[in-house]
């Protein structure tokens, strides 16, 4: 089920064409945390950040949201204080998922990626000259050598693999991914998406798959991925985990699935797809 246009009230633009006295929506980040009202999900709607008594390290115009201009901005509260509006706080974007409206959450994901890209591409990667932001697209150009850097996005594939009605899930060895999840990994240079699916699955659990089908995609701003979801069927091989990245993997029955990834991610949607399509197999057993 490919996604339709995700935004309902957002129109992307590269350059503001509004009067300066208009109120704007501000996606304000302090490191990876965003300023929002933790009860209502509202974000600051002010003319500029002087109203919050602060000067941003950087700001990037995003376009129009709900008819108002909107900006991404970064502040460093250790360097410069900020008058935080009542009820608001800097919160990790993931924890704001259940609080923000969908458009605001999605736009915040765009905002944080653009802010980080802006911060990490101040200088030309080729010759070291200070870059300039381009007018006509979201890119930076080197005035010295002409090298252009586009927003950084790292494609990654994630696959729901089914064998005789069972779903393959694996447990990672590290970090925050210690729950069971689907097999996923970054696309390498020169690969098609399907090749990346086959390679990752072979590398991580040692099995071969067939009938790889596109499921949908999702921007995943942690920190700058594009997740591309697939479904596939088991073809051959026995599960053999690499022991480094993956600690354990197994085929789960529909009615015995481990704790789910949050609905926030495309992994959650893929598992919903599995449940919708394979629950009958089980009930007929
Ligand atoms: Zn250069």
Name the E strands within the chain.
10-12, 24-30, 33-37, 45-46, 58-65, 68-74, 88-92, 132-133, 139-141, 148-150, 154-163, 166-172, 180-181, 183-186, 208-220, 225-236, 246-252
Alpha carbon of 131 to ligand 1 centroid (Å): 8
**Residues 115, 26: contact at Cβ < 8 Å?**
no
Q: How far is CA 193 from the centre of its chain?
A: 18
pLDDT given at position 1: 46
**Domain-wise residue ranges, the chain:** 10-119, 121-151, 154-279
Least confident of 12-26, 73-87, 98-112: 12-26
pLDDT given at position 174: 73
| CATH 3.90.79.10 corresponds to the domain 154-279 | yes
Take residue 42 and report the two structure tokens written for it.
């509202």
Phi, psi angle pair for 45, to nearest 5° = -120, 95
**Residues 168, 205: contact at Cβ < 8 Å?**
yes
Report which of 123, 17, 117 is spatially closest to residue 58, judged by C-alpha positions. 117
Take residue 23 and report the two structure tokens written for it.
């109120």
pLDDT band at 285 (very low <50, low <70, confident <90, very high): very low
Alpha carbon of 112 to ligand 1 centroid (Å): 25
Query: What percentage of the chain exceeds 90 in pLDDT?
Result: 70
pLDDT given at position 3: 54
Alpha carbon of 152 to ligand 1 centroid (Å): 17
Least confident of 27-31, 50-54, 66-70, 241-245: 241-245
Alpha carbon of 59 to ligand 1 centroid (Å): 23
Q: What is the mean pLDDT of residues 69-73?
A: 95
The CATH class given to the 10-119 domain equals alpha beta
Fold matches, 10-119 and 154-279: yes
pLDDT given at position 5: 61
Report which of 21, 81, 90 is spatially closest to residue 56, judged by C-alpha positions. 81
Question: Rounded to an integer, what distance in angstroms lies between the CA atom of residue 98 and that of residue 280?
Answer: 31
Alpha carbon of 135 to ligand 1 centroid (Å): 18
């Amino acid at each position: 089920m490919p996604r339709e246009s995700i935004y309902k009230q957002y129109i992307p633009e590269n350059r503001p064409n509004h009067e300066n006295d208009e109120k704007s929506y501000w996606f304000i980040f302090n490191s990876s945390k965003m300023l929002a009202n933790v009860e209502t999900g509202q974000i600051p709607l002010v003319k500029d950040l002087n109203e919050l008594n602060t000067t941003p390290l950087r700001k990037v115009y995003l376009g129009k949201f709900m008819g108002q201009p909107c900006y991404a901005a970064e502040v460093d509260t250790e360097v410069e204080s900020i008058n935080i509006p009542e009820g608001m706080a800097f919160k990790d974007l993931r924890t704001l998922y259940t609080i923000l409206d969908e458009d605001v959450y999605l736009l915040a994901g765009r905002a944080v990626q653009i802010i980080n890209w802006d911060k990490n591409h101040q200088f030309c990667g080729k010759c070291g000259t200070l870059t300039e932001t381009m007018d006509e697209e979201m890119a930076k150009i080197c005035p010295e050598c002409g090298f252009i850097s586009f927003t950084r996005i790292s494609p990654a594939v994630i696959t729901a693999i089914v064998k005789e009605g069972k779903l393959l899930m694996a447990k990672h060895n590290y970090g925050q991914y210690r729950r069971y999840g689907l097999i996923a990994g970054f696309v390498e240079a020169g690969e098609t998406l399907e090749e990346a699916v086959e390679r990752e699955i072979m590398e991580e659990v040692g099995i071969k798959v067939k009938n790889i089908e596109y499921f949908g995609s999702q921007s995943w701003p942690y920190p700058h991925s594009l997740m591309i979801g697939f479904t596939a069927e088991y073809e051959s091989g026995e599960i053999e985990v690499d022991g480094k990245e993956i600690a354990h993997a197994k085929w789960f029955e529909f009615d015995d699935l481990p704790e789910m990834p949050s609905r926030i991610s495309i992994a959650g949607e893929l598992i919903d797809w599995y449940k919708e399509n394979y629950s009958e197999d089980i009930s007929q057993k």
